[in-house]
Structure 1
Amino acid sequence: RRFLKRLVAQFGHPRVVITDKLRSYFKPVHDFAPGADHRPHKGLNNLIEGSHRPTRRREKIMGRFKSPRQAQRFLAAHNQISIIFRPRRYRLSTISYRHARADAFGLWDGYAAEMTA
């Protein structure tokens, strides 16, 4: 109650209040923000939990991004590089895997030489 009262005093009356499903939140929200739309939902405050994109798991691991757009831009580039260095191990024999990794590092050395030249 005190926390919600302080928030309403500091920021004004909200349009929407999102809380988890704890029943003790319903009465204070109704008292201090009567016109607000109260949405009791577990994951709405959390951008990662609310996201249904295929990168959700990696976003959660790399949680230091300022926005979902920045994370998506980084992951798009990272995914292309990651595929080169992580061949599908379960489909390859040991020798083939070692050759694939050596080829990947050879490609990377070539790209790095082009970028610095």
Structure 2
Amino acid sequence: VCTPIDTQAITTDGLRSYGAAMNELGNREKQEVGRWANNGVENSHLPFRRRERAMLRFKQMKALQKFASVHADLHNHFSLERHLIDRKTFKERRSAAPAEWRLIAS
């Protein structure tokens, strides 16, 4: 996990393999490792990590792929992004979603 913050520094965590890779690339002096320096990089992975944890229960890749394809459709259908619309519109869409889903599923 390494992300260039600017052209002057590359922030990584303390994993030793990153240091070895930076030596090999000749960028060791640009590497920035600090206790909290990597927080921005790690926080950018949170949504991915959340999905990854949810998917750990699957033993077979086929089951995971089936779940992921169905989950994406359901999530897009029911995720109404409340913060982008007013309350009245949100409530109208939210109440219409289950009825529409029943129509699609039957």
Q: TM-score, normalised by structure 1?
A: 0.43
Task: Give 1 or 2 for the bigger CA radius of gyration.
Answer: 1
